[in-house]
Amino acid sequence: MIHEREVSVAADHPAFAGHFPGRPILPGVVLLGWAVQTLGEVLGDPLPACEIASAKFLRPVGPGTKLSIRLAGQPGGPWRFDILDGDWPVATGSLRASQA
């Protein structure tokens, strides 16, 4: 199963405050949060408890960037996420939803 979501990074996103003056870069935790939210859309749980099995941040993300978040996997198994700026990967990794 593959699921895709588009996200536009607002120029005034609060995470840019102080991160970093003169060259705003979106913190990786925001990217991970969007990956988890996307998994929640797939699972029907707005904020699923999950394990971040792996995560790599490959390129900085600045204000105004349009991102594509792609998840591939099956319920009960690991979910691979890829976050792309056009054709360029900015983050990749693997999530596993906790069994409640």
Q: Which residues contact 70 (CB under 8 A, 6 or more apart)?
A: 2, 3, 4, 81, 82, 83, 84
**Residue 55 and residue 82: Cα distance in Å, rounded?**
10
Indicate which residues carry an active-site annotation: 19
Edge-to-edge strand list for the sheet holding 88-97: 2-8, 66-73, 79-85, 88-97, 50-57
Residues in the chain: 100
